[in-house]
Amino acid sequence: MSEKTVRIGIIGAGANTRSRHIPGFRAISGVEILGVVNRSPESSARAARELSISKTYPNWRAVIDDPQVDAICIGTWPNMHCEITCAALNAGKHVLVEARMARNAAEAQQMHAASLANPGLVAQIVPSPFGLVQNPFIQSLHEHAFIGKLREVVVIGADSTYWDYTEYLHWRQDAKISGLNVLTLGILHETVSRWIPATTRVFAQTTCFEKQRPLANSQGLVDVTVPDSVQIVTEIDGGARGMYHFSGIALFGPGKQIHLYGSRGTIKYLMTPQEEQLFTGRPGDTELKRVEIPEAQRGGWKVEAEFIAAVRGQDKVHYTDFASGVRYMEFTEAVARSAALNLPVELPLKHL
């Protein structure tokens, strides 16, 4: 099909939108950033000036109502994702929405229903960036049964991000904005879900060690409404077991890691601030060996190009469609339910 012009309206020019989406869209021929809106007229004008965008809007609904806009890029906090996404799809606009998908599984289901009701429109969630480079190579290892039958999965996201209780409350620590997702639970579960079968059961415990924080531009302390410590055990389709450890108060913690242990071998993926590292090991090896992935088997960040190709009918969404988003949103909700009830919770969720 021809490369028709695609005009995009930006709702929420956050860090990821500025650093990734806008440059990504501008690198594609025939894509135009038509206008932008932020939380206030002042921040909208500032974003337009800083990002060289010619038009601002008085509110997010005006972006959706603009007949010149073909697609919406939503870079707001999660508490706005469901309402804006559903309104945009029902107005005939393609949607790229920032992760996390929504605050909870019910909102995610509502967004998915709106996408199913508008099958001619593209509905994409910005994917977890972790593992995108390594994914084709890891998939090829699975195709050749490198680790054999999967036995155990370990997912770790433990560091000192929220260790200092004197720092201001972050929006990710406010459940009204952030929802049920905790720390990096959603983004790392989305990553590991590309490499393992579906999770069928979770049993979780959570707590918050630093229960209050100062609020910017305010006196006194406010409650932290998102846990800062999470431990989960899971069952995985096919019989494997999973162990998850997430913490924002682990001084000198192990950081972000994913381990896959099988009957014939091991894959370990580490995410450091400097780089992502992949290690493998098989019987006979004396230690895990770092893998340098051949260029031909390397993936990467192609989110904006993938979105535009799907809008133009040239490809489909690979990372991440709404159905996949619902699955990781159900996982994060199952963790919250399990911790609240002190009981295992089955997946997929029932009675949302």
pLDDT digits (tens, 9 = 90+) for 164-205: 999 999 999 999 999 999 999 999 999 999 999 999 999 999
Contact 269, 261 (CB under 8 A): no
Q: What is the pLDDT of residue 281?
A: 98
First and final CA of the chain: distance in angstroms? 40
Instruction: Say which CATH number the domain at 55 has.
Output: 3.40.50.720
Contact 255, 270 (CB under 8 A): yes
**Same domain flag for 178 and 101:** no
Q: Report helix, strand or coil for 328.
A: helix
**Same domain flag for 26 and 55:** yes
State the average pLDDT over residues 5-12. Answer: 97
State the average pLDDT over residues 255-273. Answer: 97
Instruction: Say which CATH number the domain at 235 has.
Output: 3.30.360.10
**Same domain flag for 188 and 282:** yes
**Is the four-CA dihedral 230, 231, 234, 240 of positive or negative sign?**
positive
**Same domain flag for 90 and 148:** no
Contact 12, 76 (CB under 8 A): yes
**Same domain flag for 78 and 205:** no
State the average pLDDT over residues 16-24. Answer: 96
pLDDT > 50? residue 131: yes
- CA-to-CA distance for 324 and 139, rounded, in angstroms? 17
**Same domain flag for 144 and 124:** no
- Residue 334 domain-assigned? no
**Same domain flag for 164 and 27:** no
- Residue 341 domain-assigned? no
Task: Domain count for the chain, please give it.
Answer: 2
* DSSP H stretches of helix in 9-116: 15-16, 22-26, 41-51, 60-65, 81-90, 105-116
pLDDT > 60? residue 352: no
**Same domain flag for 94 and 235:** no
- Residue 337 domain-assigned? no
State the average pLDDT over residues 248-273. Answer: 97
**Same domain flag for 70 and 186:** no
**Same domain flag for 49 and 142:** no
**Same domain flag for 181 and 284:** yes
- Residue 252 domain-assigned? yes
Residue 226, domain extent: 135-299
pLDDT > 90? residue 351: no
Share of the chain above pLDDT 90, in %: 95
**Same domain flag for 116 and 141:** no
